[in-house]
Structure 1
Amino acid sequence: MDERTALVTRRGENYGGRSRQERATDRRDRILASALHLFGTHDYDDVTVAEVCAGAKVSKRYFYEHFVDREDLVRALHRQQNEWLLAGVSAATPDAPGSLEEMLRPAVRRLLGMLQANPERAQVIYINAPRMETRRRGVLREDAQFLAGMLRRVGGRPTTEIRYERMLLALVAGLSEVIIDWLSRGMTDDVDALADHLTDFCTAVLGRLERS
């Protein structure tokens, strides 16, 4: 539970058979669900707080109990959706991969498959939320750390820490740009071919990193 929602839940008692916490959590979930649909189908600048509230069937008063403003909402939404994506990728990674490629290929294929099957989520993760530059940079660092964790499963260890971190950051930034290009063109490219291309790119960069 986020801090603003926790604050709201301390203010009242049960109503209609549900606690204050349950009602506040339900409202926040509905706001996020409405925001996912709207920011997943429209440009960032075309979505208003009023439209999000209408879709969630809550008043602006309740919106501002949970979020400071529209940007705060999109940050929370993006964090939620990126966590969903990384959890799915992690679940597709073999527990004991025999090689770097054997680990990366199913992970990349799962990532692209999840995005293709959930275009609204894809729009939020890669198109709308990244317009907030500070959040975009933070997510790239988070994703680089996630990749570092995956690499430890096949024995990947940095020889020079700062060089390793920079290479991983550059790698996830490059992957993100290719994915954004794919999304922007309607996800019409063959997913298996794209997964192969991205896997080859990752193994080439990471293989070079391991040898140096």
Structure 2
Amino acid sequence: MSAEERLADRRERLILAAYTLFASPGFHATTIERLCATARISNRAFYECFSGREALMRAVYDRCVEETLQAIAKAIDQAPSNLDARIAAGITEYVRFVTADERRARIMHLEVRRAGDVLNTSRQRAVLEFTKIIEGSVADLPVRPPTELHLLALALIGAITELLIEWVISEHPPPTEVIIKTAVHVFRQSFRH
């Protein structure tokens, strides 16, 4: 491997190790030493890839968000072009994609909050991207929400986030189908006049 390929390989191994360790035991409980041991690289090699745990956490979180955004956009694009179908397609894909791997759900909905200031900028950027998807999904439809669309999108993101936090932290998590049904209901009711 070339030096660039070795660096890319180490970086990817660290991201994969962090994906598991930041989900459990969590961001604050995961040391650089443990990340390096899991990724099978030296501490020195870690700093060739990332400036610290915070930068690695941002890389993991940003990848989770990007993959989720792609999955949702594809589902909405393939849905019939009416509001109910787009709502159902987007929410169903979001919940199923995020919960298909509990690590992703934990990082996106629990550890993002526990990491605090480390992810504020990344989290705000992610929220903006999710609001754009909601806004774009209804922009060309004759249906208009009874309130300002951007604020409504933010409120709806908050609702689905709290449902998924409940799924992550609950001793007896609600079935994903119930989360989907609840979120679809909230979204649909939000567009009723």
TM-score (norm 2): 0.86
**Residue 145 (structure 1) aligned with residue 136 (structure 2):** no
User: How many angstroms apart in 1 are the aligned matches of 2:96 and 2:172?
Assistant: 11
What is the CA deviation profile of residues 123-147 of structure 1, one whole-angstrom value per residue up to 9, with x for unaligned ones? 1111112332424333222221222
Matches within 5 A, 1:161-172: 163-172=148-157
Distance 1:202 1:130, change over 3 A: same
Write the mapping of 1:2-41 to structure 2, written as runs, cut at 5 A. Answer: 18-41=1-24
Return closer, same or farther for 1:94/1:137 CA change in 2, 3 Å cut-off. closer
- Give the Cα separation in 2 of the matches to 1:23 and 1:149: 40
Residue matched to 1:9: none
Which of 161, 176, 179 is matched with 2:161 structurally? 176
Q: Which has the greater radius of gyration? A: 1
| 1:1-212 alignment runs, 5 A limit | 18-95=1-78, 97-131=80-114, 132-133=116-117, 134=120, 135-152=122-139, 154=141, 163-185=148-170, 188-205=173-190, 207-208=191-192, 211=193
How far apart are the structure 2 equivalents of 1:129 and 1:201?
24
Greater alpha carbon shift after TM alignment, 64-73 vs 185-194: 185-194
Counterpart of 1:81, as a letter, is: C
5+ long unaligned stretches in structure 1: 1-17
Name the CA distance, whole Å, in 2 between partners of 1:96 and 1:178.
Answer: 23
Displacement over 6 Å in runs of 4+? 156-160
Equivalent residue number for residue 3 of structure 1? none
Q: Tell whether the 8 Å contact from 2:72 to 2:94 is kept in structure 1 after alignment.
A: yes
Structure-2 separation of matches of 1:75 and 1:123: 14
**Amino acid corresponding to residue 202 of structure 1 in structure 2:** F
The one-character-per-residue Cα deviations of 1:73-94 (angstroms, maximum 9, x if unpaired) are 1111100011111212222225
**Matches of 1:146 and 1:55 in 2, distance apart?**
36
Write the distance in 2 (CA, Å) between the matches of 1:112 and 1:187.
17
Deviations 1:144-173 (A, max 9, x none): 12222233354567899xx32222112212
**Separation in 2, partners of 1:130, 1:174:** 15
Distance 1:89 1:125 in 2: 15
Residues in 1 aligned to 2:142 and 2:171: alpha-carbon distance in whole angstroms = 37
CA drift of 1:70 comes to 1.0
Q: Distance in 2 between matches of 1:193 and 1:85?
A: 20
Q: Which has the higher contact order (CA 8 A, sep 6+)?
A: 2
Q: TM-score, normalised by structure 1?
A: 0.79
Q: CA RMSD in A?
A: 2.3
Cα distance in 2 for partners of 1:96, 1:153 equals: 14
